[in-house]
Structure 1
Amino acid sequence: MALFRRDSLVTRQLLRLVLLHAAWEVGSGQVRYSVPEESKHGTFVGRLAQDLGLEVAELVSRLFRMVSEGRRDYFEVNLQTGVLFVNSRIDREELCGQSPLCAIDLEVIVDKPLRVFHVEVEIKDINDNAPVFPVSKKNLFILESRFPDSRFPLEGASDADTGTNSLLTYKLSPSEHFIIDVQTNDEKSKSLVLVLKKPLDREETPVHSLSLTATDGGKPVLTGTVQLVITVLDVNDNAPVFNRSLYKVQLLENAPNRSLVIQLNATDSDEGISKDIMYSVGSVTPPSENSIFTIDSSSGELSVNGKLDFEDTNLYEIQIEATDKNPYPLAGHCTVLVQVLDVNDNAPELAVTSLSLPVPEDAPPGTVVALLSVSDRDSGDNGKVTCSISPNVPFKLVSTFKNYHSLVLAEAVDRERVSEYNIVVTARDEGAPSLSATSSILVPIADVNDNAPAFPQPLYTVFVKENNPPGAHLFTVSASDPDLKENAFVSYSVLESSVRDKPLSSYISVHSESGHIYALQPFDYEELQVLQFQVSARDAGFPSLCGNVTLQLFILDENDNAPAVSPPPSGRGSPVTELVPLSAGAGHVVGKIRAVDADSGYNAWLCYEVQEPRTAGPFRVGLYSGEISTTRALEEADGPSQTLVIVVKDHGEPAMSATATVSVSLVESPQAVKWDSRQTGGSEGPLVDMNVSLIIAICSVSSLFVLVIIVYVGLKCHPGPEVMYGSGKPTVVCSSEVGSWSYCQRQSRNLCLGEGIAKNDLMVFSPNFPQSLEHGKEKQQELPPNAPGQVSL
């Protein structure tokens, strides 16, 4: 009958292990291997690279690496063959204790692209632990009066192995008085009992020495032995009796020390000292916790004598013995099963297993930044953990496998806006109250060349006087780039174009590093009034980016051309005689001098006057018309002839002049007027006709030259700067085909992906001259010398 029960028990255990094994395989990771414990270094486990679909030749280039959660490096991969092998000794009992399933989770990571694989290696148990009894020798005292079938509990052996390797069978050395009975209670705990099958006779045999052997189910089998020394006592008829043979108690793991577990009570129907009972703890399973409980020998109060920890041991089996005080004592026994209940006393644990830093600012959403593992030693809801990260960051957590999470990029990042992120990962369990753990990950953002150099404004207006020396510094442009290192290193160049059939590079140059713009030759206002060009700022990134700015260089006129008197029809240097009839009255026009000046504005505004007014006699010259006329009626007393020296002056500073000599002869009848002219320094020429239209043309010059004249006069009032520029609204004043003025706006930021000249778009709005330009001119004249928007060079 006992053999049948043992076979049934073994069958149930094997069926349970098969079901657990099948359930474990269903929930396993991507790749699963198994290896026996205690395997030697180098033992083949599996062709990991082949099973994961990886090329062995790419393992090194793709930075193949393998990590395990909080354990030693039990396994290693040969990068030349892709074979997973045992790296160090594995003790299943040390690793997983009595757990029926024991597996090591491995995480395999490769880059280019980044992929994560999860591997489980099951550690199979081998029969490397023999059954062990708590003691090697057990003393029993049994009254000779005990009846057959009396039962005496024994403490069984324990086996650190699992499965069939831990299934124990017991065998007692041959004895005509005793047999061994093994029973399994509701808690799957085996009860080992020594059964008396034949009455004892102390006088015949006072001591029985037996050997109890425990044999496990492994191959080969291992055994453990305890020596039973049974002393037969004289009659003490009644042993103490507990009201129950098995007590079940539940305790929270945070129960304080000295907490009462249970109040035990045993009774003895004897009298005298045989009625007095003492209580003691026989044994505690597991044996390592033998001192975790204590009992008051008099009262029978069983209490905690240490700290309970559900994560270490969640079930205790305590053998209690009640012994009377007879010189030949009898004992009663009971079993107390203490179930330890879990409380939320373990905070989650966070570990960062892999980091891919820094993150390029052009990384696409979904890029894996870090791999994290989280665990909690508690069970049930106390061990369920949820993870979250700090809000308002462009990252998110993605659950990948079991307790593994990936920190991935959720949206695009910009290093120029935020250069690094301090991400706080919080793991919180579902206990009450819940516990949490945090871990900070500093994620720097790597710069890429995504910002083109930019100028403060799209257009600059620069004024420079003509006749500047070669190499004169005209202006300095400066562009900024918010990128880093070579991505922010800016070099400047002029976008080549043609000016009056000459290359722009023959007029100006720009220093590639400083942005200083220099004149390569003197400017001549009479040849070139406005020079418009573009400067490009290019960074050193790859691919490089560039931005453009437009400069309008206005040439300011200087009085460097003297008036030129037009020669007479007869040619320069011919003798000149002007005949005037004696009958001419006042206001009679004798002749007219025509002169021109290559300059413009005030520098070209001419006036005429007689060099020696006292010698002019009855003649005068129009201040601005150049007409020679009589001031009164002519008389014979005026003489037969007179010579007039006419001086032609401009309004420049300093003024330049030319002279014209006119000889006037008084005759009875009209004659043609002869004249010649002479410039300052000795050149002369004949008088020519000139009308007032010159004055009107000069006064009606374009609005741009009016602006230049006003600025020029302002500069004369504030001597010092030779070149100035005005900033402000990014507009360009452009001359239209009909001579009016319009606004032009240029867009100067371009992406330079290769060699070539950047293109700009010209937008012409109104053909009318803008009033804002006049206001800007007046405001510019009112600026102090060092005010922003006006720089003296």
Structure 2
Amino acid sequence: MLISRSSGQRVQRLLLSLLLLTIWKVGSGQVHYSVPEEAKHGTFVGRIAQDLGLELTELVPRLFRLATKDSRELLEVNLQNGILFVNSRIDREELCGRSAVCSIHLEVIVDKPLQVFHVEVEVKDINDNPPGFSVTEQKLSIPESRLLDSRFPLEGASDADAGENSMLTYKLSPNEFFILDIINKKDKGKFPALVLRKLLDREENPQLKLLLTATDGGKPELTGSVSLLILVLDANDNAPIFDRSVYEVKMYENSANHTLVIRLNASDADEGINKEMTYSFSSLVPSSIRKKFLMNETAGEIRVHGDIDFEHTNTYEIHVDVTDKGTPPMVGHCTVLVEILDDNDNSPVVVVTSLSLPVRENAQEGTVIALISVSDRDSGVNGEVFCTLTPGVPFKLLSTFKNYYSLVLGGTLDRETVSAYELIVTARDGGSPSRSATASVSVEVADVNDNAPTFPQPEYTVFVKENNPPGSHIFTVSARDADAQENALVSYSLVERRVGERALSSYVSVHAESGKVYALQPLDHEELELLQFQPRQPNPDWRYSASLRAGMHSSVHLEEAGVLRAGPGGPDQQWPTVSSATPEPEAGEVSPPVGAGVNSNSWTFKYGPGNPKQSGPGELPDKFIIPGSPAIISIRQEPTNSQIDKSDFITFGKKEETKKKKKKKKGSKIQEKKEKGNSTTDNSDQ
């Protein structure tokens, strides 16, 4: 079976492509691969999941994805085996032009938790572009009088490939009049020129046709050619010449129109009209350059005519002819190489992507909030970008790769203190003066249930008249929670305990939502002098089982109205007391009257005829008289942080006979209530 030369070359290129597939790793989670351009769809590039340390089973659940700077999906990942492969045609010249290095930068992003990896895929050049000339035929008019070794510059070829594949050599078809010479213009490339080795004779050869061939350095090598038409002119003996064959000029971009680029200088050894010259752009100068520059035909001045943008083109090669007015005219040639210098005329661009919002207030330091990329079209220091963040916030920027940053949590958050942050990312380049750009990032702090409900005060004292109707509203408790939404919802319940022989819940109840406290049955002062209970929140947040609870004590005092009068010489006082005075000349301890307060100073109250007023601490007298009722009422002061059961705070210290009489009265009253259908428990001895 015969294989054509072109087919063999393609096979060789394919084998070379497979050999060029390499992989290497460097630190900071960065992976490098290489792939030849023009590789077919499905060509293996690398085991990206394995090289990034990711399990194949987590690629789909963690939303494994690729991100590139443009929308072209040149590369793709098989989520089943974690292999990076060529998805569509990669043309290195289209992607990177003539750049020495061409890479595709990939951002690999996975969630839960958010991670970002940077992958560089170098696109290797293959020799897929032959050298080319801008025209199919170049015409040169050369007088027959030109001297030996005269040089005539030609337009060189260009090759879109890079490296060795774009290194060109030239060859001239065999002839007896010209040889080929190559002009090296420093780093500007090589340019071919014809050198006259035999005098021309227009009468013998009015024109010559030659072929110029350019060959690149690829393997296999590719060629391109252009026809040279030499028109031999008669007459003028001396052609104008420039003082240099190549002029090099540097100028800044954005130069104003009519700015002088260069003033050329040519001379002609002839006399009279044969010495007069005009300057013009060579026919080799493309229209794109003619739109940027103007030539003054008489002065030889090249001036700016259009927008000069470094980011668009940073060098211009201008071929100039100078022609005398002899008959026939003679032409001289030179090349002006204009190098454009960068000006800091582009501001940085800031792009914020992959926001992970809102951020829970208990998020760990280092949590990634957003990914930020910056760029600047300028070059050198003008294109170097530095990023800063709003000061004084619990966030910071971390540089991950070149101009890529991560916005991460740098401190602790407290939604109850600050619920949202407005962050400003500022990107500033290194130009002088520098240019900057900003991007705003709004970070909302999400609430977590980290605050327990609280009551305004730890203990309340409520006074209730005895014989209240069942279901009476006696008090309302209210607690608040600093958290938000469902985390701030509270409900109320009683801490169950026993009061004598009965449960507390048989006396009072609390509404779970409103906090209203109700007496479930008529309360009897002789049975209960102090009813103490504790509301609480059994589960303030229905979403969580965490015990964020607040509690408070409330003492309910039963009271009757009584008038207490100070001893002789003292003012009359209206005091609601916890119980009516006993007719017996006995003393007992009771809870303080309204206004005295729990744990206040101890006061002694005496009632009965003939009891003089006695001095006591503070503004209130410590002895009070209720006419016709000799007895003593005193208030006991409780030590701070006392562990004494509050239910025992108020007791009556009567003599036994007094207690028996009290019981007898109490029994009669209970019996009366039972007969009416209101049964209660006698707790008068408790």
TM-score for both structures, normalised by structure 2? 0.79
- Give SS of 1:238's match: coil
Any residues of structure 2 matched to 1:285-324 within 5 Å, and which? 289=289, 291-324=291-324
Aligned residue in 1 for 2:544: 542
| Cα-to-partner distance string for 1:36-88 (whole Å, 9 max, x where unaligned) | 22333332211100111110111112222221234533222121111112233
| Cα-to-partner distance string for 1:574-603 (whole Å, 9 max, x where unaligned) | xxxxxxxxxxxxxxxxxxxxxxxxx98773
2:592 to 698, 704, 710: 704
- Alpha-carbon contact 1:349-1:376 (below 8 Å) kept: yes
- Alpha-carbon contact 2:170-2:215 (below 8 Å) kept: yes
Aligned residue in 1 for 2:680: none
Match status 1:554 vs 2:557: yes
Tell me by how many angstroms 1:276 deviates: 1.1
Q: Is the alpha carbon distance of 1:223 and 1:27 closer, same or farther for their aligned partners in structure 2, counting shifts above 3 Å?
A: farther
Aligned residue in 1 for 2:580: 603
- Alpha-carbon contact 2:497-2:504 (below 8 Å) kept: yes
Moved more, 179-188 or 225-234: 179-188
- Give SS of 1:547's match: coil
- Alpha-carbon contact 1:429-1:435 (below 8 Å) kept: yes
Match status 1:428 vs 2:428: yes
Moved more, 356-365 or 475-484: 475-484
Write the letter of the residue equivalent to 1:542.
Answer: Y
Aligned residue in 1 for 2:439: 439
Larger radius of gyration: 1
Tell me by how many angstroms 1:558 deviates: 7.4
Tell me by how many angstroms 1:488 deviates: 1.5
| Cα-to-partner distance string for 1:109-153 (whole Å, 9 max, x where unaligned) | 223333221110111122232222122111111111223322100
Tell me by how many angstroms 1:225 deviates: 2.1
Q: How far, CA to CA, are the matches of 1:205 and 1:602 in structure 2?
A: 145
Any residues of structure 2 matched to 1:585-624 within 5 Å, and which? 603-606=580-583
Q: How far, CA to CA, are the matches of 2:55 and 2:29 in structure 1?
A: 21
Aligned residue in 1 for 2:409: 409
Aligned residue in 2 for 1:184: 184
Tell me by how many angstroms 1:309 deviates: 1.6
1:695 to 585, 592, 599: 585
Tell me by how many angstroms 1:359 deviates: 0.6
Write the letter of the residue equivalent to 2:206.
Answer: P
TM-score for both structures, normalised by structure 1? 0.68
Write the letter of the residue equivalent to 2:585.
Answer: I
Write the letter of the residue equivalent to 2:371.
Answer: L
Aligned residue in 2 for 1:451: 451
- Give SS of 2:257's match: coil
Any residues of structure 2 matched to 1:389-404 within 5 Å, and which? 389-404=389-404
Moved more, 278-287 or 546-555: 278-287
- Give SS of 1:164's match: helix
Aligned residue in 2 for 1:116: 116
The unaligned stretches of length 5 or more in structure 1 are: 1-21, 560-598, 607-693, 710-737, 747-760, 768-793
- Alpha-carbon contact 1:344-1:434 (below 8 Å) kept: yes
- Give SS of 2:33's match: strand
Q: Is the alpha carbon distance of 1:345 and 1:494 closer, same or farther for their aligned partners in structure 2, counting shifts above 3 Å?
A: same
- Give SS of 2:487's match: helix
Tell me by how many angstroms 1:265 deviates: 1.4
Tell me by how many angstroms 1:696 deviates: 5.2
Aligned residue in 1 for 2:210: 210
Tell me by how many angstroms 1:396 deviates: 0.9
- Give SS of 2:273's match: helix
- Give SS of 2:534's match: strand
1:741 to 637, 649, 655: 637
Q: How far, CA to CA, are the matches of 2:415 and 2:255 in structure 1?
A: 54
Q: How far, CA to CA, are the matches of 1:284 and 1:742 in structure 2?
A: 110
- Alpha-carbon contact 1:285-1:316 (below 8 Å) kept: no
| Cα-to-partner distance string for 1:628-683 (whole Å, 9 max, x where unaligned) | xxxxxxxxxxxxxxxxxxxxxxxxxxxxxxxxxxxxxxxxxxxxxxxxxxxxxxxx
- Alpha-carbon contact 2:559-2:579 (below 8 Å) kept: no
The unaligned stretches of length 5 or more in structure 2 are: 1-21, 563-575, 598-633, 650-686
Q: How far, CA to CA, are the matches of 2:29 and 2:120 in structure 1?
A: 6
Write the letter of the residue equivalent to 2:592.
Answer: L
| Cα-to-partner distance string for 1:362-409 (whole Å, 9 max, x where unaligned) | 001111111111111212221121111112221111111111111111
Tell me by how many angstroms 1:439 deviates: 0.5
- Alpha-carbon contact 2:577-2:594 (below 8 Å) kept: no
- Alpha-carbon contact 2:558-2:578 (below 8 Å) kept: no
Match status 1:496 vs 2:496: yes
Identity across matched positions, percent: 59
- Alpha-carbon contact 2:342-2:378 (below 8 Å) kept: yes
Tell me by how many angstroms 1:224 deviates: 2.2
Aligned residue in 1 for 2:676: none
- Alpha-carbon contact 1:470-1:522 (below 8 Å) kept: yes
Tell me by how many angstroms 1:254 deviates: 2.1
- Alpha-carbon contact 2:578-2:591 (below 8 Å) kept: no
- Give SS of 2:94's match: helix
| Cα-to-partner distance string for 1:402-454 (whole Å, 9 max, x where unaligned) | 11111111111111222211111000012111100111111111111111112
| Cα-to-partner distance string for 1:708-764 (whole Å, 9 max, x where unaligned) | 99xxxxxxxxxxxxxxxxxxxxxxxxxxxx972216569xxxxxxxxxxxxxx7899
Match status 1:166 vs 2:166: yes
